[in-house]
Amino acid sequence: MQWLFFALISATAAGATAILAKIGVRDVPSELATALRTAVVLVLAFAVVQARGEWVPLRALTARTLVFLTLSGLATGVSWLAYFRALQLAPASRVAPIDKLSLPISIVLAALVLGERMSWQLACGVTLMMLGALLTLAG
């Protein structure tokens, strides 16, 4: 259950991100705000790697690992750039729920790409997530 602890930390931090970012993008271009946020994430990530002694020589990484981590980084960059722009244009209470459509998208992709099992309960939960996010548009 250690994964649950980290997942709850992630959810809490992500929830705070919307509010902190909304305040942060008020007076700067959204792209600059994203670049500054990315720099902070980069420094934090490397500090954790250093503290945990997890350095691995680049030549020890496979091409497949590097390709997929690069693609993941590009997807993250696009997501963050779009998220910060959306926060400049709309209230956080509207943007955050739509951003969280990433949850059902991830679950569907996990089933299609990774072959993870999709139970009827999971399918119902995904449907409810999507409906909940869409309901926020009406409010």
> Are 27 and 63 found together in one domain?
yes
Range of the domain at 131: 100-139
pLDDT value of position 59? 81
> Are 14 and 72 found together in one domain?
yes
> Are 74 and 122 found together in one domain?
no
> Are 22 and 41 found together in one domain?
yes
Please give the average pLDDT of every successive group of 10 residues along the chain, which has 139 residues: 86 88 91 94 94 87 92 93 92 89 91 93 92 84
How far is the C-alpha of 106 from the C-alpha of 77, rounded, in Å? 17
pLDDT value of position 133? 86
Instruction: Count the domains in the chain.
Output: 2
pLDDT value of position 3? 87
The answer to whether position 76 is within a domain reads yes
pLDDT value of position 137? 82
> Are 14 and 64 found together in one domain?
yes
Q: How many CB atoms lie within 10 A of CB 37?
A: 18
Angle at 113 between CA 103 and CA 3, to 5 degrees: 50
